[in-house]
Structure 1
Amino acid sequence: MSLYHRIILISIVVLPIICGTQAVAQGVFRVAFINPGATDDPFFSSLTYMMQDAASDLNIDLEVIDASASHIEVRRRGNEVLERGNPPDYLLLINDHDVLDGVIKRADMLGVKTFLFNEGFSSRRLKDIGTPRHPIKNWLGQLLPNDRKAGYLLAKDLIEHAKRKASHATIDMVALNGAYRANSSELRLLGLQDALAEYDNVKLRQIVHTRWDEKKAYDATRGLLERYPETSVIWSASDLIACGALRAVKEVGLKPEKDILIGGIDWSDFALEAVGKGDFQASVGWHVMDGAWSLVMLYDYHHGHDFPVSSHSDYFIMNKDNIGRFDRYLGSKEKWADIDFKAFTKTHSLQGQSYDFSLDAVLRHLSESSVLSKVTTH
């Protein structure tokens, strides 16, 4: 066989191997997400919907594993995933009830990379586990919402609108919080207290924990309205809780917006609709996108673009003053599906710039896409 023919033969054998290796490196990778919410929870339904949309845009093989609204089940399912003969490349986790340190340590030993979002470790637990990559190298990072700001924004909006209605009167408020010891509950309550410190004429009559349960929120509100009939503001740590409060308010003959102001946190579909109708004064949110943004960051990491090991997502308030602009571009799931998540990656678009996952950035993106679509179709 001549040298020429040997070179051709080697090329035929070797080049497909090289090209195939590059395809694997740049192609689909696998991410498993342990969903701690109930299957019918409106917040987690929207969150997973956006994650699936992002995964489709980014060519990520995303597996969503339901944990039946149980933090014990979250831990068990996490360990089950790690016991597979062929575990995923990345494990996305929400640290519900501070129970996932063992899963993250075990994943590190097995070489599975983990990323936290939505709910992180308490300061007490962080003393034992450390911070992302120190010392647990395969715990890549975390993207956590500013829950204290969420509680503050909601309280400020409710109080300011109550003041406009009765500028010289004392404002009686009750607070419906989430679960005991949940980091988000504690931080949102701190935000409420930050806001209360700025006012002299607001009286917080009572705080009730509801375990994030609509029925418990309904029962609690019925009792609170009997105990404090002058209540004019109900601060709720989630939209689902606010929904229970709304049902109780209407049953006792009070009119939302006129007699009492109700607000929640999450930007659930029904809550934004309630804001538009006047049943809710406001909803604070945008962290519903954090799962999708986490996938953007993992996508970049997988393609050689690292990210800050710890970062915070922002919250924005939605009320009657600004819901019109939101509705125009994000008023339905079909419109949310117009987001091209590649436009928010360092791999494709940012070219060394910092991430911008803000509401304004997405609205700009959708506005420009809408204009471009109109130009190209006419």
Structure 2
Amino acid sequence: MEEVAVAAGVSRATVSRVINAVPTVDPRIRAAVERAIAEIGYVPNLAARSLVTRRTDSVALVISEPPGHVAYETPFLNRLFTDPYIGRVTAGAQEVLRPEGIHLVIIPADPPGHHLVLRYLRQGHVDGVLLISNHSADPLPRQLYDLNVPAVLSARPAQPVPHSYVDVDQQAGARMAAEHLLALGRRHLATICGPQDIPPGRERLVGFRTAVGAAVPHVPGDFTRASGEAAARRLIERYPETDGIFVANDLMAEGAVRVLAELGRRVPQDVAVVGFDDSSAALDARPPLTTIHQPVEEMAGEMAQLLLARLRDPRRTPRSVIFSPSLVVRQSA
């Protein structure tokens, strides 16, 4: 830092203020210091800087599955790293955080490691948390609030907690799927729904039932391709007259389409299929899926913006941002 100060003709304190983005520095002085930093190749000591600023310039993306939840057939980490949703959230958050010089740390919080993740966050290794947590029984949103860790949630919390959150209108999306299938003339509808211990799974089922009736056949999956395959087999065995299926996410829908082909059911001629998410799985399916689009990257970017605003102003009132879904018509329905 001393070399930079000499080269720019300013004090060490002025160099420090430029490095820490203090807004009161004269623009001409700031430009001189930045030129000196570039010429010398000076790299700030981030550890020392964090002691002064109390900032780590890191944000955690925590994907949480709480202890004591309903056990799924597919292990947590397998579901985590095969779900396109997580990659889309990461991309959307990075788009906002990277220009701010903030590093995104991805932290899986599976049941055996939940206490370790909480301890890591409590120790101040990150400035805030983007939390993917949908389970009603997850204590992490409340724990983060009690620890005064700034956080933004990826969905409406199952229990009231004063965090900002971003969500899509889940029920409206499911109603769109039902209305599209009915408009195609399909009259024997069914759904492969998501887990009923998380709000998106419940709300998509509620939305579909609102449009077609509470008695509509439904078989649950866990948002994985394999569970979609298994659910489709059970559905056709129990309800062979089915001619239209709403599947609560694209991964399960991709699996369902595979099984329908194995069972000799043509998609969409015999059975029309609509997914939810508009993820890469919708394009990988054969035929490509008609699906409900939720703007995941944009939603994740909004989460990051809300967190940055909270970090700048800790007294900022929590707020919710709800995005609208849309129907994307492809070849499956």
Contact 1:264–1:284 under 8 Å retained in 2: no
1:76 aligns with 2:112: no
State the partner residue of 2:72: none
Pairs within 5 Å for 1:161-310: 161=184, 163=185, 171-196=187-212, 205-274=216-285, 278-303=287-312, 309-310=319-320
Q: For residues 270 and 77 of structure 1, what CA distance do their matches in structure 2 show? A: 33
Two-structure CA RMSD over aligned residues (Å): 3.0
Q: Gaps (5+ residues) in structure 1?
A: 1-10, 133-138, 198-202, 322-378
Question: How far apart are residue 238 of structure 1 and its match?
Answer: 0.8
Deviations 1:311-367 (A, max 9, x none): 21221221139xxxxxxxxxxxxxxxxxxxxxxxxxxxxxxxxxxxxxxxxxxxxxx
Aligned residues: 277
226-235 vs 41-50, greater mean Cα deviation: 41-50
State the partner residue of 2:63: 35
State the partner residue of 1:318: 328
Q: Counterpart of 2:327 in structure 1: which amino acid? A: I
Q: For residues 311 and 44 of structure 1, what CA distance do their matches in structure 2 show? A: 19
Question: How far apart are residue 189 of structure 1 and its match?
Answer: 0.9
Query: Secondary structure of the residue that 1:38 maps to in structure 2?
Result: helix
Question: How far apart are residue 188 of structure 1 and its match?
Answer: 0.7
Question: How far apart are residue 279 of structure 1 and its match?
Answer: 4.3
1:155 aligns with 2:178: yes
Contact 1:158–1:233 under 8 Å retained in 2: yes
Contact 2:130–2:154 under 8 Å retained in 1: yes
1:97 aligns with 2:106: no
State the partner residue of 1:142: 165
Q: Counterpart of 2:61 in structure 1: which amino acid? A: F
Query: Secondary structure of the residue that 1:144 maps to in structure 2?
Result: strand
Contact 2:175–2:210 under 8 Å retained in 1: yes
Q: Gaps (5+ residues) in structure 2?
A: 1-9, 23-48, 65-78
Question: How far apart are residue 213 of structure 1 and its match?
Answer: 3.1
Q: For residues 212 and 103 of structure 2, what CA distance do their matches in structure 1 show? A: 46
Contact 1:174–1:204 under 8 Å retained in 2: no
Deviations 1:181-229 (A, max 9, x none): 21111111111022215xxxxx965111112232232122123213322
Distance 1:97 1:17, change over 3 A: same
Q: For residues 302 and 82 of structure 2, what CA distance do their matches in structure 1 show? A: 23
The sequence identity of aligned pairs, in percent, is: 21
For normalisation by structure 1, the TM-score amounts to: 0.65
Question: How far apart are residue 89 of structure 1 and its match?
Answer: 1.0
Contact 1:81–1:87 under 8 Å retained in 2: yes
State the partner residue of 1:8: none
For normalisation by structure 2, the TM-score amounts to: 0.72
Query: Secondary structure of the residue that 2:11 maps to in structure 1?
Result: helix
Distance 1:62 1:81, change over 3 A: same
Q: For residues 134 and 291 of structure 2, what CA distance do their matches in structure 1 show? A: 26
Q: For residues 22 and 281 of structure 1, what CA distance do their matches in structure 2 show? A: 48
Contact 1:33–1:64 under 8 Å retained in 2: yes
Question: How far apart are residue 63 of structure 1 and its match?
Answer: 0.8
Q: For residues 190 and 142 of structure 2, what CA distance do their matches in structure 1 show? A: 41
Q: For residues 20 and 99 of structure 2, what CA distance do their matches in structure 1 show? A: 22
Query: Secondary structure of the residue that 1:234 maps to in structure 2?
Result: strand
Q: Counterpart of 1:270 in structure 2: which amino acid? A: A
Contact 2:130–2:307 under 8 Å retained in 1: no
1:107 aligns with 2:144: yes
Contact 1:180–1:211 under 8 Å retained in 2: no
More helix by share: 1
Distance 1:151 1:209, change over 3 A: same
Q: For residues 181 and 190 of structure 1, what CA distance do their matches in structure 2 show? A: 13
Distance 1:289 1:22, change over 3 A: closer
Distance 1:100 1:229, change over 3 A: closer
